[in-house]
Structure formats: structure tokens, C-alpha cells
Amino acid sequence: MLRIHFTAQDLEYVRIARSPDPLWEIVCSVCRLQTDEGRLAFGPWRRAVVPLLRGGGWGGERDGGRERDGGGERDGGGERTGGGGVDRAVAVALRSLMPCGPYIPDFLTPAVDGGIADLRQGVDRVLSTPRSRLRREFTLLAESGARAFAGAGPGSRAGARARLRPFAAERLARGDTEALRALGGLLTAYDAKFVAPYRPWIDAAVASDVAWRSRELAGGGTRALLETFRPMARWSPPVLEVTYPVDRDLHLAGRGLLLVPSYFCWRKPITLFDGDLLPVLVYPVEKPVQLPAASGASLARLLGPTRAALLHEVAARGCATTSELALAVDCSLPNTCQQLAILREAGLAACRKEGRCVLHHPTPLGRQLLEQSGAGSSERPLPVPRPATVSPW
């Protein structure tokens, strides 16, 4: 259990990052490659990146039910890297620095007020980490290697394999310039192959999560915002009790809290190890799943001014209730429900139940249709849509 202690000043300074942090997405996705957790949510992504990991050396992971353990050379961490190419070598090197275990160095995810939206900015901050901090955190990483991870679930392989020797650990701990540049190259290369191709789905999930929680914040204040994190967290004033693999207290002491939505975070929110750093809470958002292809007949049913207006309103608002949409397009509530159902059947809109309300969101297909038709070029920019989702808990 993680207990986050708020003061009155902290409650006035709770922020939500507007976009996913690229470094947290890298760290969390590397962890997702080390476990079987979230098969429905991450299955399509794992299947897509499996070809990048082939050739052995990924800790004997299963590929389609078969154990994979090929030959090849070993990298600086003692892990086999031959036969699978540069992409797998990059992933293996980062895995040695980001074990799905009790400790991941904080310097890999530098805390910045408002969050980091640009990978280059994040990498530059990683490379500028003071040497004293590098030494301290690599010492902690080495010490954590013998500890079991309480957060590894029954589907996790994290505790079943030997810990890899961290990539260039001694040189990085000394602040060696070449080693740090190599680390920056690893982060950039991994993002390009394992994260960037799926960014539209990542951004869609995060944008709609932020739209929903911002709506709650605007309507009910900080308390309503913190209540949205049930069941993974419970607001018991003045403490936010968070499901966590270890027992810990974090006192904000007037620094506030930055909430960072993450696509690759799974089940439990996470935070930095060092409580003296800027307080952040990285939490999982609902995951988009592959949308069914809309048939020609379904798309034909969409032709008409009412459905077109509804689709535009859903995309423009980010999330809206049925009543709000009915009022916006001047349509009766029953007819609005019917037209929205048709949009959902065609894969152009999705919805979620929040209390007594149903919130409607656009899907990537709906946004694409609007953009291609020119309907998305109005003065009010269209937000990134919300696809069909899998709950993070």
C-alpha cells in the first residue's frame, strides 16, 4: 500500500499531465515485455513486436507457446544478443536497466513539472543526471537484484529468470560520456521501433482519459478527480491510499502531485523511489483494443445529417453525455441514442458508463473519417479520440 499524504496546499496543486511521458512509456513497455500480464490489453502489441525480439536471448520467453532460446553473442550485460538483430539487442540492454522488479532507477524517468512531452527533451535530462546521483541509483539497482518483487503476479516471469548485469553499469555510474550517449541512443532506438508505431493508440487512450478526468475535476474539484482512481486508489482525506507492491508513505509537504497517465502502465500506479524528487503518480489508462472493421452496409447507414453532426460533436468535445449531444444537435433523446448506437456499430464511436451517465468518445476510425472528409478542419480543433477500451483494473 502506498499512502500519499496531502496538505491543504497540496490539494490546490494537483495536476494532470496532458500527454503521455515518453520515458515512462519506454520503462513501462519494457516491463510489459517481461511478463504475461494484460494479455487482452497488450496482446496485439506484443504480437506486433515479437519479430523484433526473435533469435533467442530474451530470457527464454515463449513465442506462440514455444520456448525460444537461440544462440548468439552476449552483450555487455552477459545476455545473448546475436541472431535477432539490433532491435532485440536494444530491448535486452534496456531490460537490464529496467527490470520488472522492486527498483528501477529514477534518473531514467526525470520528474518535470507538467510532464515531459518530447522524447528528445527527456533524453537530454537523462544524460545530464549528476554523477553522484548515478552512483547512488546504480548501487540501489545492484542491491535490489537479490530482492523478490512483491508486485509480480502469477503470470509474471520477472522472478523466474536470473537478473541481467545492467548495461554498462560501471561506466554509467561514473558518468562516462560515451556510455551516457549510448544509453540515449538505446532510448531513442527503442522508442522508434517499440513505441512510436503505436503512438496514435497511445495518444488516443491518454487524451480521452485526460478529457474524462478533467471533466470530473471541473465539475467536482480535486476530491472528484481523486475519486476517479477507484478501485486502484481510495481517497480517505487527507490520504490517497494506492494499491502498491510495497508498503510506503509519501508526504507531499506542499509540493503537490503530478498525475501522469500511461498506456503501458498496468493495474497498479507507480511512483518514483526517491521521495525527495518531484512527486508524481503514474497510473494506467484504459487500453484500446483492435476495432472491428466496419462493413460497407454499416458505413452506408451513417450517411445523414444527424449522425454526421453527432460524430462531429463527439470528436470536438472529447467526451460528452447523451443529453449533451442531443441538445447540441437539437435532436430528441431517444433518436440521439439510436443514432449513437449506429455510430458504435460502425466503429466510429465508443462509450463508457460513469455513474448514471454514459460518456461517448470518438474512435480513431471516426476521427480519420472526419479528417478525410474535411469535417475536422473547423476552428475548434478535434481532440485525439477514445477507442474501444480494456479497463486497467
Round to whole Å and give the CA distance between 8 and 164: 44
Q: Kindly report, residue by residue over 165-218, the tens digit of the pLDDT.
A: 788 889 999 999 999 999 999 999 999 999 999 888 888 888 888 988 998 898
What residues have CB less than 8 Å from 292, skipping those under 6 apart?
Answer: 347
Q: How many CA atoms lie within 13 A of 355 on its CB side?
A: 7
Q: What is the pLDDT of residue 70?
A: 34
Residue 303 has pLDDT above 60, yes or no: no
Q: How far is CA 305 from CA 312, 330, 339, 381, 382, in A?
A: 11, 12, 11, 20, 19
pLDDT of residue 132: 96
Specify the CATH number of the domain 296-390.
1.10.10.10
Mean pLDDT of 119-135: 95
Most confident of 59-63, 82-86, 102-106, 249-253: 249-253
Residue closest to 203 by CA, chosen among 17, 55, 39? 17
163 — pLDDT class (breaks 50, 70, 90)? low
pTM: predicted TM-score of the whole model, two decimal places: 0.72
pLDDT value, residue 55: 59
Q: Evaluate the CA torsion angle 377, 378, 381, 387 in order and state its sign.
A: negative
Map out the domains of the chain as residue ranges: 2-17+201-287, 22-198, 296-390
**Mean pLDDT (whole number) for 39-59:** 80
pLDDT at residue 105, as a whole number: 95
